[in-house]
Amino acid sequence: MKPRLLVARRLFPDVLAPLAAAYELDVHDSDQPLPPAALAARLQGCWGLLGSGTERVDAALLAACPTLQAVALVTVGFNNLDLAACRARGLRLSNAPGVLTEATADFGLALLLAAARRVGEGERFVRAGQWQGWAIDQFAGAPVAGTTLGVVGMGRIGTAIARRARHGFGMRIVYSQRSTSPEAEALQAQHLPLPDLLRQADHVVVMVPYGPDTHHLIGASELAWMKPSATLVNLARGGVVDDAALAAALQQGRLAAAGLDVFEGEPEVHPALLACPNAVLTPHIASSTLPTRRAMVQLAVDNLLAWADGRPGPTPI
C-alpha cells in the first residue's frame, strides 16, 4: 500500500503528477488554507504533508497526527514549523530555497522604485480622473540612482538585490547581519551595525528570516533612526517589521514611503497601513512568476520522491 500524502494547497497538477506513482494523494484543491482542526482531520492516516507557509506544524498537530513522518514545503520560509517538535518526532523536512532568488530580487527593486517614486499614488490619481495636467512638483519622489541602499540580511536574496542596486543603479551598499559576507565585499558593500545602517541609508530593504530574535526587528525606535526622506521595503516575513509603528511613521511624516509584500497576520493588513497613500502594498507575490512558482513546487516534489526511494532530499531543513 502506498503511503498517503496530503497536498494542502492548489498547486500545479502536472508538476504533482509524478507523486501518484509513490503516494496515495489527497489534494486540497483550494487557495484557502485548511484551518488547524480541518488540517489535523485531513492528516489522519497520512505519512506526509506537502504544504506552504500557512500550515502550522507544531506539537499539538503532531500529537493529533501520529502517522505524520514528513513535511515538504513549496516555500523557502519555514517559520510555520515548530522545528523542535518536528525534530523530536524525527520528521523529514524540506523547503524550496534558491529557485526564487532572482524573481524575488527583481520584485524587491520594483517595490523600492514604486514606493520611492510614488508610482502607486500617481496611478491612483490618474484612475480617479484627478489629473488635470503637468505640474513642476507633481508627485515628486525620492531619487534612487546613486543613493545609499541598506540591506538588512545579506543572504541569497539580499545579495541579489544589492547586486542589482550596485550595478544597475550605481548605489552605495551598506548591510547589516551577524557576520560579514564575501559576496558583499565584491559589491564594495560596507558591513554596519543596524542603527548605523538605518541612519545612513536612503532606502532600506529587509530580508531576514522570521523568528523570535527578529520579531519587530524594525520597530518604533528603529524607524526613528531612519531619515524622514527614506523608503523601507519589507520582503522578509510579516512580524519582522512592526506594522503599526510603520503606519504611524508614514502618517506623521517621519518616513517618506514604504513598500510591503508581507504583513503581520496576513492576509489581514493593519487598517492604518491601508490608509497610508505613501505605502505600496502587494499580496505576498515577490516570487510570483510562473517559472519560479513551478520550480518551488518541483523542489517539494523532488524531496518527496527522494524520500519515497529511501534517499535524502535535495533541500532538507
Q: Which of 9, 156, 237, 293 is catalytic?
A: 237
Judge whether residue 181 has pLDDT over 90. no
The pLDDT value given to residue 116: 98
Q: Which of 199, 215, 254, 284 is catalytic?
A: 284
Q: Which of 24, 102, 183, 266 is catalytic?
A: 266
Show the DSSP H helices in 100-208 as ranges: 101-116, 119-127, 156-169, 182-186, 194-200
Residues of the chain with CATH 3.40.50.720: 4-99+290-308, 101-281
Fold category of 4-99+290-308 in CATH: Rossmann fold (3.40.50)
Q: Among this protein's residues, is 266 annotated catalytic?
A: yes
Once rounded to an integer, what is the mean pLDDT over residues 130-139?
A: 97
The three cell numbers of residue 238 are: 510579516
The pLDDT value given to residue 41: 98
d(C-alpha 223, C-alpha 252), whole Å: 12
Q: Among this protein's residues, is 237 annotated catalytic?
A: yes
CATH architecture designation of domain 101-281: 3-Layer(aba) Sandwich (3.40)
Do the beta carbons of residue 257 and residue 229 sit within 8 Å? no
pLDDT digits (tens, 9 = 90+) for 215-258: 999 999 999 999 999 999 999 999 999 999 999 999 999 999 99
pLDDT digits (tens, 9 = 90+) for 249-293: 999 999 999 999 999 999 999 999 999 999 999 999 999 999 999
For residue 315, give the nearest of 237, 304, 86 by alpha carbon: 304
pLDDT digits (tens, 9 = 90+) for 74-132: 999 898 999 999 999 999 999 999 999 999 999 999 999 999 999 999 999 999 999 99
The pLDDT value given to residue 205: 98
The pLDDT value given to residue 149: 98
SS (HEC) of 30-84: CCCCCCHHHHHHHCCCCCEEEECCCCCECHHHHHHCCCCCEEEECCCCCCCECHH
pLDDT digits (tens, 9 = 90+) for 143-152: 999 999 999 9
Q: What's the pTM value of the predicted model, to 2 decimals?
A: 0.92
The pLDDT value given to residue 141: 98
The pLDDT value given to residue 173: 98
pLDDT digits (tens, 9 = 90+) for 23-59: 999 999 999 999 999 999 999 999 999 999 999 999 9
CA geometry: angle at 312 spanning 310 and 316, to 5°? 140
Once rounded to an integer, what is the mean pLDDT over residues 4-21?
A: 98
d(C-alpha 217, C-alpha 153), whole Å: 11
